[in-house]
Amino acid sequence: MPTWISICAVTDIPVLGARRVSRQRGPEVALFRTSGDQVHALLDRCPHRAGPLSQGIVFGGAVACPLHNWTISLDSGCAREPDEGRTPVFRVKVEAGQVWLDGEELDTVGVDLPPVKAGPCTRVNC
């Protein structure tokens, strides 16, 4: 049985945008809100090069990674063809305008992956 944790109000997530949820271990989780007010949660990490999906463009039921424009399905976390790969998906519950995530998933899913490092490159030829 899931242990649901209150995260934020649906209105705290921009329409066609994202909000990040920090965790004690592992990469952050990205909450996405569609134009129809559906809320989805993915690990904030593209399966291609670990780009921060929360900084991507949300359209329809997908998000475009800001690094290389891979399209990731919000409901499955799968990259759309011709690309391949998957980012972990988290269960979401919305009740009375409040967004809830499964606490056990927050504590276990993707915690072994290094966090996304966004910002300027620190090595030559990156």
Q: What is the pLDDT of residue 126?
A: 41
Q: What is the pLDDT of residue 40?
A: 98
Burial class of 66 by CB neighbour count within 10 A (0 to 12, 13 to 18, 19+)? middle
Mean confidence (pLDDT) of the chain: 91
pLDDT value at 68 more than 50: yes
pLDDT value at 122 more than 60: no
| CA–CA distance, 121 with 105 (Å, rounded to integer) | 31
Q: 27 and 45 in contact (C-beta within 8 Å)?
A: yes
Percent of the chain exceeding pLDDT 90 equals 80
CATH topology of domain 4-106: Rieske Iron-sulfur Protein (2.102.10)
Q: 106 and 29 in contact (C-beta within 8 Å)?
A: yes
Each residue's pLDDT tens digit, 5-45:
999 999 999 999 999 999 999 899 999 999 999 999 999 99
pLDDT value at 4 more than 50: yes
| CA–CA distance, 111 with 28 (Å, rounded to integer) | 9
Domain ranges of the chain: 4-106
